[in-house]
């Protein structure tokens, strides 16, 4: 999920009452909820799409669950002592308890991979013991409804606290509603997976949440060596002509001549690091013909012809091989 969501989760946990356990509890919760994304620093030394094979891995796995909160708790404990030694420690701050700092950092840190698992991007939950990707397919990576719920609840709780009222209850209610909302979305995805299996046993499906319309799902269907169709579902199948992004069987959404055989591209994964990393990360790879006849390697989960595509590898030296007739 995005870092606004992670930050709001940390803040809401604090407003539910845990921030009274120790001084610097809120920094421990908010920073801890974002700390696994320290792997974003890889952009400074990795080129192209190599970051796709590094992120959501080692800093999101079991070793990091233990070590990152320990580092954060130690840093906050030291900061409190440093301020005290210089006479700058705020008088209103609660006594700092290292054990509670670690516990809160640990709780917040665990919320991060739990949320990241919920979308179609995926997460390597067992890294470094296993590089397997896990996908929850439950929420879109930016969920404005969670923003609204948790943002309002945090603001309202803080306001009640300043006024001397009961401030824990709004946060606790919001946490319960958020958990229920996530459960509802999980049920929608599970229902759609069951429905797709009942009508089509031969194809692999990806049920992808869409922005804003949390009740809708995009259904990506895999056949042979390509992602070949994309339709949107909201309880009843919408007009395919209006919403197909990929369609290679006589529909206007995506012309068949733009699709290349991906097999020659797969053969390059050992020789071309960019291709190798992309295919390691990609859940729905397909090869698209560029305007000059070369190949662009893409992922159907994040393909939008109207926007700049950060999830692609251009292969100017590889000519598009047309798909064999079916």
User: Are residues 19 and 101 in contact, defined by beta-carbon separation less than 8 angstroms?
Assistant: no
The whole-model pTM stands at 0.88
Question: What pLDDT is recorded for position 134?
Answer: 96
Residues of the chain with pLDDT under 70: 201-202, 223-256, 304-309, 324-326
Question: What pLDDT is recorded for position 201?
Answer: 67
User: Are residues 12 and 153 in contact, defined by beta-carbon separation less than 8 angstroms?
Assistant: yes
Dist CA 112 CA 301 (whole Å): 22
Dist CA 139 CA 149 (whole Å): 15
Sort strands 294-299 and 226-233 into parallel, antiparallel or unpaired. Answer: unpaired
How do residues 22-62 score in pLDDT, each as one tens digit? 999 999 999 999 999 999 999 888 888 899 999 999 999 99
Helices (H) and strands (E) counted in the chain, each on its own, are 9, 7
């Amino acid at each position: 999920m995005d870092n606004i969501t992670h930050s709001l989760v940390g803040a809401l946990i604090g407003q539910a009452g845990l921030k009274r356990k120790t001084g610097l509890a809120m920094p421990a919760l908010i920073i801890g909820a974002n700390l696994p994304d320290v792997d974003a620093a890889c952009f400074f030394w990795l080129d192209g799409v190599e970051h796709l094979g590094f992120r959501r891995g080692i800093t999101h796995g079991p070793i990091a669950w233990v070590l990152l909160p320990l580092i954060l708790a130690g840093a906050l404990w030291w900061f409190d002592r440093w301020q005290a030694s210089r006479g700058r420690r705020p008088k209103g701050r609660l006594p700092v308890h290292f054990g509670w700092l670690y516990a809160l950092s640990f709780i917040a840190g665990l919320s991060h991979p739990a949320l990241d698992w919920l979308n179609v991007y995926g997460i390597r939950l067992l890294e470094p013991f296993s590089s397997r990707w896990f996908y929850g397919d439950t929420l879109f990576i930016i969920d404005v409804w969670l923003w609204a719920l948790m943002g309002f609840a945090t603001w309202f709780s803080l306001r009640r606290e300043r006024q001397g009222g009961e401030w824990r209850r709004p946060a606790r209610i919001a946490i319960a509603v958020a958990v229920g909302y996530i459960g509802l979305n999980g049920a929608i995805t599970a229902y759609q997976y069951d429905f797709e299996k009942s009508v089509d046993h031969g194809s692999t499906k990806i049920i992808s949440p869409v922005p804003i319309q949390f009740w809708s799902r995009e259904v990506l269907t895999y056949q042979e060596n390509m992602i070949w169709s994309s339709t949107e579902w909201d309880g009843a199948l919408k007009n395919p002509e209006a919403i197909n992004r990929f369609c290679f069987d006589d529909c206007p959404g995506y012309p068949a001549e733009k699709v290349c055989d991906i097999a020659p591209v797969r053969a390059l994964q050992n020789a071309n690091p960019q291709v190798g990393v992309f295919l390691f990360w990609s859940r729905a790879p397909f090869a698209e013909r560029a305007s000059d006849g070369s190949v662009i390697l893409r992922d159907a989960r994040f393909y939008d012809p109207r926007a700049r595509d950060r999830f692609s590898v251009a292969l100017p030296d590889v000519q598009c091989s047309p798909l064999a007739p079916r």
